[in-house]
Amino acid sequence: MAKSVPERSLALDSILFSKDRRVAVIEGEALREGQGFNSVRVIRIFADRVLVTDNGRERVLYLERLPQVRGTQ
């Protein structure tokens, strides 16, 4: 029986999304669709998320929401 590999933490740092170019920065690596590193491959880049395979398993990475900043009056 094959051992299950625990899901590792992957940080989606940023997404550059335009009609001409799509780039996702994952763990500091700038990647286009079809590129990868360390058994992570980018399948599809959306404006707010990235579909990857990680050790053969599909995962969706989301951008972290920035904390709300309130102005003072």
| Domain annotation covers residue 1 | no
At 70, the pLDDT band (50, 70, 90 cuts) reads low
Identify the residue with better confidence: 43 or 71. Answer: 43
pLDDT at residue 9, as a whole number: 87
pLDDT at residue 64, as a whole number: 80
| Domain annotation covers residue 44 | yes
The whole-angstrom separation of Cα 73 and Cα 63 is 30
Cα distances (angstroms) measured from residue 14 to each of 41, 45, 56, 61, 72: 16, 11, 23, 11, 29
| Domain annotation covers residue 51 | yes
| Model confidence pLDDT, tens digit, residues 28-48 | 999 999 999 999 999 999 999
Tell me the whole-structure pTM to 2 decimals: 0.78
| Domain annotation covers residue 69 | no
| Domain annotation covers residue 2 | no
At 6, the pLDDT band (50, 70, 90 cuts) reads low
Number of independent structural domains in the chain: 1
Residue ranges making up the domain that contains 39: 12-62
